[in-house]
Amino acid sequence: MAFTLPALPYAFNALEPHIDARTMEIHHGKHHNAYVTNLNNAIAGKPEENLSIEEICKNISKYPIAVRNNGGGHYNHSLFWTVMAPNAGGAPTGALADAINAAFGTFDELKTKFNTAAAGRFGSGWAWLIKDSAGKLAITSTPNQDNPLMDVAEVKGTPILGLDVWEHAYYLNYQNRRPDYAAAFWNVVNWSEVAKRFAK
Ligand code: MN
C-alpha cells in the first residue's frame, strides 16, 4: 500500500491573509507531494509498505535517511494541514485549555514559548506542542523533517500542534520574517483538531 497525498481540507486561499494561496498551492502540491513520492520510492517492495506512517516514525533509526526525511515530511505535513483552518484561531477550551494552563501557566505563555521555539530553530525544521507519555504538554522543535514521534528525537512525545518553519512555508509572503509568520499562525490554528489529538 503506497502512501498518498491527502487532499487539503480547504481551498488554497482559505488561510489568507495569514498564509497566502500561492504558498499553500506550492507547499501542498509540490513539496508535500514530493515527500510522498520519494517515501514510496524509498520503501517500494519492503515490509514498511504495510506499516502506518506513525509506526515508521517510531522506529525511524532502523531505516535509510530517505525514509527519515520523506516519511517525516509526509507525517509532518499531513498533521500541519489539519491543525489549521479558515475562521479559526482564538483560544483553546475545555480539557486542552486546562492542560495548557497546568503546563505553561497561561495560553499566552504557551504562545511565547512556541514562538521562541519556532524562531530559534536554526535552518529548517518544525516547532511542536506535544503530549508526553505522562499526558503532560511540552514545547519542542526538531530539525529538517524529524518529529517528536521519532526514536531519534531529543524530546519525544505525540505532536498535537506543529508549525513548519522551513523557508518554503513562508518566504513568498514573509521573506526572512519568520517571527511574523509564527505570530500570524495563531490566527489559523484549528483548536478543535488540536483538542481531538490531545484527547487521543
Ligand atoms: Mn513544508
- The pTM assigned to this predicted structure is 0.97
Please provide the DSSP assignment of 55-72 as one string.
HHHHTGGGS-HHHHHHHH
What is the grid cell recorded at 89? Answer: 484561531
Name which of 186, 168, 177, 160 is nearest 80 in CA terms: 160
Residues 176-192: b if buried by 16+ CB within 10 A, e if exposed: eebeebbbbbbbbbbbe
* d(CA 167, ligand 1 centre) in Å: 8
* d(CA 166, ligand 1 centre) in Å: 6
Write the CA distances from 132 to 58, 104, 125, integer angstroms.
Answer: 14, 14, 20
* d(CA 30, ligand 1 centre) in Å: 10
pLDDT digits (tens, 9 = 90+) for 105-164: 999 999 999 999 999 999 999 999 999 999 999 999 999 999 999 999 999 999 999 999
* d(CA 164, ligand 1 centre) in Å: 6
